[in-house]
Amino acid sequence: MPIDFEFTEEQEMFRETSREFGKNEIEPLVEEYEKKEEFPKHLFPILGEMGFLGVVFPEEYGGVGLDKVTECVFAEEMGKICAGIAMCINAHVDLACLPIWKNGTEEQRQKYLVPAIQGEIIGSLALTEPNAGSDARGIRAQAEKKGDKYILNGSKTWITNGCIADFHVVAAYTDKSNKGGGISLFIVDSDAPGFQVARKIEKLGHHSADTGELVFENCEVPVENLLGGTEGAFQAVMDTLIAARITHSVKSVGLATAAFEYALQYSKERDAFGRPISKFQAISFKLADMATKIETARLLAYKAAWLYDQGKRCVKEASMAKMYAAEIVQWVTSEAVQILGGYGYAVEFPVERYYRDAKLSSITEGTSEIQHIIIGRELGI
Following DSSP, what letter does each residue of 147-192 receive, concatenated? TTEEEEEEEEEEEETTTT-SEEEEEEES-TTSTTTTEEEEEEETT-
CA 211, distance to chain mean position in Å, is: 12
Following DSSP, what letter does each residue of 280-297 receive, concatenated? SHHHHHHHHHHHHHHHHH
Closest CA to 189 of 170, 213, 211, 217: 170
Cα 140 from Cα 171, distance rounded (Å)? 10
Contact 188, 221 (CB under 8 A): yes
Give the active site residues: 365
Looking only at the bridges linking them, the beta strands covering 149-160 and 183-189 are unpaired
Contact 165, 122 (CB under 8 A): yes
Cα dihedral sign for 113, 119, 121, 126?
A: positive
Contact 33, 85 (CB under 8 A): yes
Q: 366 in the Ramachandran plot: left (φ > 0), alpha (ψ -120 to 50) or beta?
A: left
